Amino acid sequence: MTLNWDFPYPSRRMPVFARNAVATSQPLASQAGLQMLVRGGNAVDAALAAAITLTVVEPTSNGVGSDAFAMVWDGKELHGLNGSGRSPRAWSPERFTGRSRMPRLGWDTVTVPGAVDMWSTLSRRFGKLPFPDLFDPAIRYASQGFVVAPVTAAKWSETPDLYRDLPDFAAAFLPGGRAPLPGEPFRPPGQAETLKSIAETQGESFYRGELASRIVSCSRNAGGCLTEEDLASHRTEWVKPLSMTWNGVTLHELPPNGQGMAVLIALGILKHLPIDLYPVDSPESLHLQIEAMKWAFDAAQRHIADPAWMTVEPSSLLDETLLKGIAKAIRMDRVSLPTAAIPHDGGTVYLTAADEQGGMVSYIQSNYKGFGSGIVIPGAGISLQNRGAGFTLEAGHPNRVAGGKRPYHTIIPGFVMKEGAPLMSFGVMGAHMQAQGHLQMMVRIFGGHQNPQTAADAPRWYLDEDSRLSLEPGFGPEIREGLKKRGHLLTGGAPNSVYGGAQLIYRLSDGYCAASDPRKDGQAVGY
């Protein structure tokens, strides 16, 4: 496929062409990954060093207490990993009686964090460098401090009101009672020692050692349910990615409990719609994408859960006859009926790395909603995710809260192949924007032949609750009017942050093209 190397949208960045590449949402993390490649490491080493560094330099979206998912091309095969944790075994629907929805903050949102085990699992299976070496950049920034980047600072500034009454959080992340400003130094108290402990023990201290004891003690003292057994029993799960072929390429997404299924469903619907007849920046193309995404979200919210609790086989949601039938219900002249119950904001980091031996990694980790649960282990710099907020309290729903269960997850890495060979690793961070972002990247790159940086620069649409639609500045008035005429409920706009942040690496005949979203602090680097 021939890409168009024009750059028609306003952008602060150009793509990076190199035989080794890393793209993340934070320059210090990208450079941490690059350091591992220069040392002789591979794409997995680079991705892990970047991910570990991000827990320090972008704490607004992830931390040591995050969950994670990944896909790895090892030169022969595509591997999928589910690094999400299960709920405490003591959780039950009755624990949440009297609530209309799952809480957002506190111990009743904390499931077992999976990122640390993901790091050690990936390193053991695929890494070249010693595990402790991957922590060098992160430990340096945690020990000496780092300068806070502008986009991270802006997101940090939105948090104090939500977390101010949590003394351990304030002590860790609100120095002097406020969020750091752009260009100010920040040193996370205690995180350097925590990272050293994880590095030295291959993650054992976090699940079965001293750090685990500190986490459980905090939980117990605050009335939480997380136990030693909950932590000790956690394992990263190897999973087989699901796929959908469209326009000659095959998109791979991880199976539930993540929302990657929604992207595959939407793409499968588009296979049976005339989207290739229209330019990517046209009301017709956007209308078809949005309609397909609405139907996909509707299916995802009804059915996706921990696979052990799902009432349908995930593969059945990709049935060709089903998707073709949905496509027939979509009209060019008006909107369709589904209204997806879409979750709100989130906090996530996505990164990707590739090496000259052909290895590629698509990796994502997240605390979920900003800083997550607001729970910080005193003196350890461990902020815990609030993935339990992804459960529902609806009786009979496959995603209803229960003990020892993985919740519905929004974070999804993406991977594209062509004729059995790797072509692109990518992701678009940002809660439910992720599925929408994956779809928009696929349409722009493999439908409109835009290069990865142009696709990242391009304006995006954002489907919210009750099918309300926001359009990013950059779409012309003819787009807005064309969508309004079809019955789309356009809002007055949305904050820039809701449109997500993409990172992409595209395989060329000799090396890679790496792109990083201008909406983030990030950077694509290579050599």
CA atoms of 331 and 329, how far apart (whole Å): 6
Sign of the C-alpha dihedral, residues 453, 455, 460, 466?
negative
Type of residue numbered 280: V
Question: 3-state class of 82 per DSSP?
Answer: strand
Contact, 211 vs 194, CB < 8 A?
yes
Is residue 391 within 8 Å of residue 87, measured between CB atoms? yes
Strand, helix or coil for residue 16: strand
Q: How many CA atoms does the CB half-sphere of 334 hold within 13 Å?
A: 3
250 tagged catalytic: no
Q: Which residues pair with 516 in a beta bridge?
A: 503
Give the amino acid at 317: L
Residue 261 dihedral angles phi and psi, to the nearest 5°: -55, -35
CA–CA dist 399, 415 (Å, integer): 26
Residue 390 backbone phi and psi in degrees, to 5: -80, -10
Q: Name residues whose C-beta falls within 8 Å of residue 460's C-beta, 6 or more positions apart in sequence.
A: 433, 436, 437, 440, 472, 499, 500
Q: How does DSSP assign 170-224, residue by residue?
A: HHHH-GGGSPPPTT-EE--TTHHHHHHHHHHHTTHHHHHSHHHHHHHHHHHHTT-
Instruction: Tell me the residue type at 341.
Output: A
Q: Give residue for tokens 């906090």.
A: 347
116 and 64 in contact (C-beta within 8 Å)?
Answer: yes
Distance separating alpha carbons of residues 39 and 52, to the nearest angstrom: 17
Measured CA to CA, the distance from residue 475 to residue 485 in angstroms comes to 16
Gyration radius from the chain CA atoms:
21
Contact 373, 169 (CB under 8 A): no
Q: Token pair 């791979």 is at which residue?
A: 252
What's the residue count for the chain? 527
Closest CA to 194 of 175, 172, 179, 226: 172
Catalytic residue among 60, 111, 201, 348: 348
Q: Which residues are catalytic?
A: 348
